[in-house]
Chain A
Amino acid sequence: VQLVQSGAELKKPGESLRISCKGSGRAFTSYWLAWVRQTPGKGLEWMGSIDPTDSDTKYSPTFRGQVTISVDNSITTAYLQWRSLKVSDSGIYYCARMGNYYALGVWGQGTTVTVSS
């Protein structure tokens, strides 16, 4: 099982963005997928997670309303989307599969998002 994320992004404040996380293997819909942000100032932060079978989504209070998590099972890909980026959205974003005991057992390689004017 592998999760392969889209490449690094350099955006301006106010721009929109969607990054992706493509899963390999038939088990894509068998596990919830989570998005985690890593920044030097706040470390690892759980953003939210999605059940690929029915797109049931749960957001961390910090990120609810700030991002949208979605999935396209036909191409085994999950997405993390912003409508209007802020400088504070800069960071490394990881997708990860929730496995036994809801631990994050498989991680993507990370997508670096830089928001700067």
Chain B
Amino acid sequence: QSVLTQPPSVSGAPGQRVSISCTGSSTNIGAGNDVHWYQQHPGTAPKLLIYGNNIRPSGVPDRFSGSKSGTSASLAISGLQAEDEADYYCQSYDSGLTRNHIFGPGTKVTVL
């Protein structure tokens, strides 16, 4: 069971906005540790989408945005496109007993 929780799936029609939550605790997200988001298409390596909670790397469309509040973070995709259909993972650091980088279980985004 992951220390970070994400919904297994979200879906939306083209052009719509969807949001993916990443819920942690006081030892990871709530401790002020940064949250990063990755996109993974089938058969390919994950790709960094958002780092430092809300910063987009060069080349990532501004349809993708990240936010963080308390012990949770969110990834929003606006103007959903067919190519956005993929798995999305959040990642942070746990400052508790394990002191380790951690990933969420992933959320499958389906474009209807």
Chain A residues at the B interface, C-beta cutoff of 8 Å = 34, 36, 43-46, 49, 60-61, 94, 96, 99-105, 107-110
**Contact: B38 with A104, CB < 8 Å?**
yes
CA of A36 to CA of B48, assembled, Å: 14
Residues of A within 8 A of B57 (CB): 105
- Does the CB pair B52–A104 fall under 8 Å? no
Interface string of B69-112 (1 = CB under 8 A from A): 00000000000000000000101010000101111111000000
State whether B34 touches A102 (Cβ < 8 A). yes
Cβ of A65 to closest chain B Cβ, rounded Å: 15
Interchain Cβ contacts under 8 Å between A and B, 14 examples: A36-B103, A43-B2, A43-B103, A43-B106, A60-B98, A94-B45, A96-B45, A96-B46, A99-B51, A102-B93, A103-B34, A103-B48, A103-B52, A104-B36
Is B47 engaged at the interface, CB distance under 8 Å to the other chain?
A: yes
| Set of chain B residues within 8 Å of A45, measured between Cβ atoms | 103
Q: Which residues of B contact A103 (CB under 8 A)?
A: 34, 36, 48, 51-52, 91
Question: By the criterion CB–CB under 8 Å, are A104 and B106 in contact?
Answer: no
* Residues of A contacting B101 in the complex (Cβ-Cβ under 8 angstroms): 34, 46, 49, 60, 102
Chain B residues positioned under 8 Å from A109 (CB to CB): 44-45
Tell me the nearest residue of chain B to A95, going by C-beta. Answer: B45
Q: Once the chains are docked, how many angstroms separate the CA of A36 from the CA of B103?
A: 10
The answer on a CB contact under 8 Å between A107 and B103 is no
List 10 tightest A-B contacts by C-beta distance, closest first: A103-B51, A46-B101, A44-B103, A107-B45, A101-B52, A103-B36, A101-B34, A60-B100, A105-B48, A101-B51
